Amino acid sequence: MNYKIPEFTDKDTLIQNLGPCKYDSPLSQHYDETLFSTDDDRILYDITYHGTMKSIKEGKALPSFECAGPRKKIFFNPATTKAGIVTCGGLCPGLNDIIRNVVMGLTHAYGVHRIYGFRYGYAGLVPDGNHEPILLDPEIVSNIHMQGGTILSSSRGQQDTATIVDTLQRMGIDILFVVGGDGTLRAAHEISDECNLRGLKKSIIGIPKTIDNDIILLDKSFGFESAVTEAVKAINCAHVEAKGAPNGIGIVKLMGRDSGFIAAYASCASSEANFVLVPEVPLVVDGPGGFLEALRKRITSRDHALIVVAEGAGQNLFTDSAGVDASGNKLHNDIGKYLRDRIKADMKEHGIDATIKYIDPSYIIRSIPANAYDNSYCSHLAHNAVHAGMAGKTGMVVAMCHRVHVHLPLALIATARKRLNTNSELWRGVIESTGQPLAWGKSE
């Protein structure tokens, strides 16, 4: 499957501003002109020579993104500004880093001292949730980046948009920082729209969070590097287990609901996997050229095998739906246990006495503290989110594109989900490392 981002124009990348910026940024006391960004600073989305020249020849405006960073003039008066932050969806390394740096940035860079943490996701923004917000300050968040998870806790599930905006209006929240994945950010877009309908000057800033790295246009999501590093440890341990027994087979199931990035990157980093199964490549288990045939050949020739499978792989093998979660996301059938049982039966049928070890480290991986790279990445994302909010930007996310921090409209990133391109250098590296076929199954 070849991953393709939906087409968009330069107009689709415009960022909404709440109004003229009338206040001098407190950063002017410390920064010179070169450290400030303007709305005219842009980075091209398509930086390839072919794509750029084609657009130039056709006289088209090249899609570009507004660069992130502090502005000399800001929209909100720091002395009266109230901010809030909420974390939604599943856990991911780096959540506490984001919270800490938002609080530190607002407090130390802009002098904002009324910052509320809304607990248990969007449920903390509706009265029925009975979750009182926490008043955050630098002392409270000083050491939280050393912990996994989020001090605000999280939750899945939709809440009434109008009720959320009622809460923001009642509390006088000027800027809301929303940390979450595609469903969370779609809801943030609805909150922004509702504020616009009411004529409320409120800034809604998204900070994309997905351990699967499946949000479009982003180079990489925070926490992904940490997850891959921890996944490599699980793969290497499973390899030791597989080699420690005659005909040993290790199966490691990793996160990757619809995208196989963690499985692919971790397998390349480890170089121990013999099979990498991802959602983007339909899985054929039986028959000539099928997975089980390839596994038997591997066991016969090498006496051990290691399989890395993303949680969303092989869903084509199931006829029954697993339903949806509280956020409306499609639940997947358990491919790990399915493979374990099918492999066990197949080996027995062919007279192979195999030892199978099945490992699912998902909850361990997503709850670890962020590593050094993600510590730094979260710091930059959070600080740029603060700059955007104080400048009166809204309906947007901060992200890294082509290694530059930019502003992306919430409406734009909600159009699709990023998936692994099986024609990419990454997937080619997987194929070269494992020796597995490009596609499963073939006719005789």
CA–CA separation, 419 and 258 (whole Å): 7
Q: Is residue 1 part of a domain?
A: no
pLDDT for the residue numbered 359: 96
Cα torsion at 433, 260, 425, 368 (round to 10°)? Answer: -80
Q: Both 356 and 280 in a single domain? A: yes
Q: Both 138 and 42 in a single domain? A: yes
pTM: 0.93
Report how many domains make up the chain.
2
Kindly list the distances between the CA atom of residue 352 and the CA atoms of 185, 289, 297, 389, in Å, as whole numbers in the listed order: 49, 19, 11, 62
Q: Both 39 and 177 in a single domain? A: yes
Pull the structure tokens for residue 274.
Answer: 């013999």
pLDDT for the residue numbered 54: 64
Range of the domain at 272: 224-367+423-434
Q: Both 269 and 402 in a single domain? A: no
CA–CA separation, 202 and 171 (whole Å): 12
Q: Are 168 and 202 in contact (CB under 8 A)?
A: yes
CA end-to-end span of the chain: 23
Alpha helices, DSSP H, located in 42-110: 49-57, 95-104, 110
pLDDT for the residue numbered 265: 98
Q: Is residue 439 part of a domain?
A: no
Q: Strand (E) positions, 203-353? A: 203-208, 248-254, 275-277, 304-310
Q: Both 291 and 429 in a single domain? A: yes
CA–CA separation, 444 and 440 (whole Å): 13
In which residue are the tokens 């809460």 written? 167
pLDDT for the residue numbered 357: 96
CA–CA separation, 298 and 422 (whole Å): 23
Q: Is residue 444 part of a domain?
A: no
Three-class SS of residue 323? coil
Regions of the chain where pLDDT drops below 70: 1-4, 48-60, 322-329, 443-444
Q: Both 359 and 337 in a single domain? A: yes
In which residue are the tokens 């989110």 written? 385
pLDDT for the residue numbered 443: 47
CATH at residue 310: 3.40.50.460
Burial of 10 from C-beta contacts in 10 A (0-12 / 13-18 / 19+): middle
Q: Both 381 and 233 in a single domain? A: no
In which residue are the tokens 């050491």 written? 143
Q: Is residue 4 part of a domain?
A: no
Q: Both 136 and 261 in a single domain? A: no
Q: Both 122 and 141 in a single domain? A: yes
Q: Is residue 2 part of a domain?
A: no
pLDDT for the residue numbered 327: 59
Q: Both 159 and 207 in a single domain? A: yes
CATH at residue 154: 3.40.50.450
CA–CA separation, 313 and 336 (whole Å): 9
Q: Is residue 397 part of a domain?
A: yes
CA–CA separation, 1 and 420 (whole Å): 8
Q: Strand (E) positions, 211-291? A: 248-254, 275-277
pLDDT for the residue numbered 444: 46
Those residues whose C-beta lies under 8 Å from the C-beta of residue 229, and which sit 6 or more positions away, are: 371
- Give me the active site residues, please: 212
Q: Which helix (H) or strand (E) holds 345?
A: helix 335-349
Q: Is residue 3 part of a domain?
A: no
Q: Both 312 and 385 in a single domain? A: no
Q: Is residue 39 part of a domain?
A: yes
pLDDT for the residue numbered 345: 97
170: number of Cβ within 10 Å: 9
pLDDT for the residue numbered 133: 96
Q: Both 124 and 19 in a single domain? A: yes
Kindly list the distances between the CA atom of residue 345 and the CA atoms of 258, 320, 374, in Å, as whole numbers in the listed order: 28, 21, 42
Q: Are 44 and 63 in contact (CB under 8 A)?
A: yes
